Each structure stands twice: as structure tokens, then as C-alpha cells.
Amino acid sequence: MPIEAIILAVVALVIVSLMGWWLSRSRVQAGHREPHPSKQHARLDPESRFIVRLSDSEVVCERPDGKTERVAWSDLQRVEIVTTSDGPMVPDVFWVLHGTDGGCAIPQGATGEEELLDRLHALPGFDNGRMIEAMCCATDNRFLCWQRAA
């Protein structure tokens, strides 16, 4: 292997390490404390400031700006994943729950998302293939994962 390639690889490794250190330091200085890895997966910010609450009757998403979005399970008409090319520094993957009387747009990484995914996967006919396809997408797109039978 030529010496230039080795030097380039070492420089890239140093840059990546310094970027990780700088990002973690700037987040701590801004007051964003990450949970200990043994207690919780790394949290995304601002995504984790969206709070998803589930009940037997509805899904509620409390947004950081104080607004609340909701959809009743009995009114849920379809579930989409919307991806954007805006990431990775801003939310770029959203669960969109459509009802006839409202809906929710929930960013991937929202607090409570794991429980939501458990409920969505239990919907009859939920398309995991479309979900996987969406998670591999970095462009502006929409992926229909579930739709209520007519």
C-alpha cells in the first residue's frame, strides 16, 4: 500500500475522531446531556423532544413547540414514512399517521417511538418491506406501510 494512502487513512481517522469529540463537547456545553449508553440508546436531538403517548384509544404526539397532534386508532386510515434529503443535522424521517379527523407527524427518534412501532407492526398487513426500504432512503420520498381495508 502506498505511503500516501496510509497517511490519508490516518488523517481521515483523526478527523472523524475529532468531529465526534467536538460534537459531544458542544452538546454538553449547550445543556444536552446524553443518557448513559447502558441505560438507553443514544437519543437524537431535537427528535427526542417529541413525546409520543399511546392509549387504547389514540396516539398523541406532543411537539417541542407546545402543539399536540393526535389520531384515534379507530380513525387511523393509513401509515406512511416520509423521508427528506434534509438530514442528518435535522429530522429527516417521519412516521405520518393519517386519520379522517387528524393525524400525527412523528420524527424517527421521538421519545416513545419504540412503543408506537410495536403497535404499528401489529396492524394487519403492515408492510415491513416498505419500512425497510424507507429506512434506506436519503431522498425526498413517501412509503405507504399500511392502509385500512376499504
The pLDDT tens digits for 95-147 are 999 999 889 999 999 999 999 999 999 999 999 999 999 989 888 999 999 99
For 8-16, the CB contacts below 8 A with 24+ separation are: none
Q: Residue 39 — very low, low, confident or very high, per pLDDT cuts 50/70/90?
A: very low
Domain count, the chain: 2
DSSP 149: -
Residues 27, 53 within the same domain: no
Residues 57, 112 within the same domain: yes
pTM over 0.75: no
Residues 54, 16 within the same domain: no
- Which uninterrupted H or E stretch holds 105? strand 103-107
Domain membership of residue 40 (yes or no) is no
Domain membership of residue 38 (yes or no) is no
Which of 34, 61, 60 lies closest to 50 in space, CA to CA?
61
Q: How far apart are CA 26 and CA 35, in angstroms?
A: 16
Residues 143, 81 within the same domain: yes
Domain membership of residue 134 (yes or no) is yes
Residue-range definition of the domain harbouring residue 106: 47-147
Which of 69, 44, 42, 67 lies closest to 58 in space, CA to CA?
69
Q: Residue 10: pLDDT above 70?
A: no
Q: Residue 18: pLDDT above 80?
A: no
Residues 57, 97 within the same domain: yes
Residues 61, 20 within the same domain: no
What is the pLDDT, as a whole number, of residue 36? 41
